[in-house]
Structure 1
Amino acid sequence: MDGSAYRSARDEDECERRLLEGSPPNLLPMRMRLMELQAHEIARCINVRSRVGHDLLFGGFTALRLQGVPLPRTLPRYGDTVGGDDLCVLAPRRNTRTRLRDARFYHMNIPLQIVEPMPGVRCVSVVCAWFMLARFLSLEELVTLGDCLLMRRVVHDPVTIKDFDVFVTRMEKLGKLHALGRKRAPRGVKKARRAIVLLRGNMESPQEARLSLELRKRGLPEPVANLSIILDDGTVVRGDLVFVDAGVICEYDGAHHLCQLEHDRMRRAKIECSGWRYVQVTRVDMATPDARAWMARRVAYALEERTGVRYPTDDVIPLESIADRELRAMSPGWGRVA
């Protein structure tokens, strides 16, 4: 799977329903789908700007939608904090908010990176918006969102892990330098630093990012994402998550694969005939803690079958612990200064 048809949970349910009814599903490629959503958000922002009669600066989820970023499916849970579907408007000063329907005003006392996805529509950059959300999102959601920003074929200007690192480093220095009148670094900076060491930059869908994190939380070795493999017949395929040394491929198949079952069967047969062990994961496998535990066990069985190494998967390792371990390896003083 190349991740070219990103779907939220609701989109996948709609896709399955239309297939069962015999209707053609909406399978727009990811980039076209995101451009459609981006155009809708730009229209909303232009409308609200015309109502207030002056320029506005958008942040948070609004800034990400304006730049065509796929958002976490848990978006509704943040309605009381960062507005959810409401427009997120950044006020120039504290207590300078305007009454505006379907909009929320926030003040961020940090240096902002401002971009203009369309003339007259201003918002913060995707990395800046990602950092603004760090204090609200869980670490897993923050990493998944970061991996979405790093995907290929994005609508916004491409970013790298280095861009995240540079921005968060600036935020860490704010408190130490007492810049902008601050006495400490912005909230969420420690979580953002943890998230950066978990970013991989070569995912092709949010589902792949979540699946990779789940396998790491279960104590399995880290796979290589989207590795090109040459099969025995000369065909080149790209595996979602590849355990190279064990010869195991783990792939996430979303609802859009229901329309290409025959193609997928032939592809899987070629992969297995070339000596690879294939593990298929679907949305159902990621839906509940019990389902995720069984999914991880299936991957562990495949690895054990090939390597003889047994991987217990019953215990879930907190992502914070995994990130802290990597950070301590990079900087032994991390635990004392973070």
Structure 2
Amino acid sequence: MRVRAESPGPSWADVGLAEPGHGWSGAVLAALLRRRGAAVLSHDTAAHLHGMPTPHAAAPSSLVHVTLPPGQRLRREGVAPHRRDLPAHHVGAVHGLRATTPERTWADLCTRGAPWTPEDLIAAGDHLLARPWSRRGRREPASTPEGLAAVVAALGGVPGIDAARRALAQVRVGSDSPLETRVRLDLIAAGLGEPILQFRLDAADPQCPEVDLYYADGAVALEYDGAHHLAREQQARDARRDRWLLARGVAPLRVTAEDHREACRRLVEVILGRRAAGHRIDPRPESTSQSGHDAPPAES
């Protein structure tokens, strides 16, 4: 496949994406699609285009994944073909390339198996339901719980669909990063129950901070410290948030990747200790719109 040297098109960095494991440029992917008019970028390749997080403990896929109608072939080094009929509404365009929609991409990953673990699939689903931050506030999510549920239902009894149903039951609105998702799953596995996500204790107070995870029973607010928390401006905001919470009897806890590697053992001890001491501050009804209990609807 050839592309014009003088017009290779935008780089992955230009569209805000990391370099994919397969190493192909967008221009070469477009050339592949032109040669196979029915081919659609799918699975891990579509996930990269949609900005979905990759498996936590595995390198990004080194193959370009495409879906073709049954009976069509595509033999090319570095390409992994999948043969399945795609409804027209499961196909869209992203960065000028024909690809499966975010919802269909997620469902396909669920049926793919290794290296996608249940935790990876839940984190990818959470990512599609998140409202990313921007300079103008939060943007609209890539999908909705109903959208994910509809695609899973449409796939019926395809092999691996049970993994999609199990992951869908644990996908939640309000997780801003894959590690926030994994921390939530660690805390649930430890028996603490589901936290409220993206929580504001007093929505009527403009100074009230929004915290990543909150347990009313124990009055504990957990905030995941990613790389951006190293910036001076963010540290100042973190300090103001902690002071606001402490003044109202809420314990702020910083969460790091090291906590996840330890299955959040120390955090669990702190939360259980505060529960035993009787600390509790229940949310006001108007403060729970981003609750971690906004689960996808059950399938009929």
In the other structure, the counterpart of 2:43 is: 60
Residue matched to 1:229? 201
Aligned partner of 2:244: which letter?
A: K
Counterparts in 2 of 1:244 and 1:226: CA distance versus 1, 3 Å: same
Question: Is residue 117 of structure 1 aligned with residue 89 of structure 2?
Answer: no
Structure having the higher helix fraction is 1
Separation (CA, whole Å) in 2 of partners of 1:142 and 1:48 = 25
**Equivalent residue letter for 2:46:** A
Q: What is the CA RMSD across the aligned residues, in angstroms?
A: 3.4
1:300 to 269, 272, 276: 272
Q: 1:96 aligns with which of 59, 65, 73?
A: 73
How many residues in Structure 1 have an aligned counterpart in Structure 2? 260
Report what 1:314 is aligned to: none
- Conserved in 1, the CA contact under 8 Å of 2:132 and 2:141? no
Aligned residue in 2 for 1:50: 31
Question: How does the TM-score come out when normalised to structure 2?
Answer: 0.74
Distance (Å, rounded) in 1 between the aligned partners of 2:169 and 2:142: 19
CA gap of 1:215–1:269, structure 2 versus 1, over 3 A, is same
Instruction: Note the alpha carbon deviations across 1:108-150, whole angstroms, 9 max, x for none.
Output: 356461001244x211111111111113122222111100111
Q: 2:138 aligned with 1:159, yes or no?
A: no
CA offsets, 1:167-214, max 9 Å, x none? 111222xxxxxxxxxxxx112211111111211112122221111111
SS at match of 1:278: strand
> Take 1:118 and 1:233, find their aligned partners in 2: how far apart are those partners?
40
Deviation at 1:233, TM superposition (A): 8.0
How far 1:303 moved relative to its partner?
2.9
Alpha-carbon displacement from aligned partner over 1:5-62 (angstroms, at most 9, x marks no partner): xxxxxxxxxxxxxxxxxxxxxxxxxxx9894117989972431442675234100111
Question: In structure 1, which of residues 149, 158, 168 is the aligned counterpart of residue 152 of structure 2?
Answer: 168
Structure 1 residue 105 corresponds to structure 2 residue 81: yes
Percent identity between the two aligned chains: 22
Stretch deviating more after TM superposition (159-168 or 87-96): 87-96
Structure 1: gaps spanning 5 or more residues: 1-31, 173-184, 309-325
Q: Taking structure 1 as reference, are residues 34 and 159 closer, same or farther at Cα in structure 2, changes over 3 Å only?
A: farther
3-state DSSP class of the match of 1:236?
A: coil
Contact 2:132 2:140 (8 Å CA) reproduced: no
Following superposition, the deviation at residue 222 of structure 1 comes to: 1.3
Please identify runs of 4+ aligned residues in structure 1 that moved more than 6 A: 38-43, 154-157
Unmatched runs of 5 consecutive residues or more in structure 2: 1-11, 134-138, 281-294
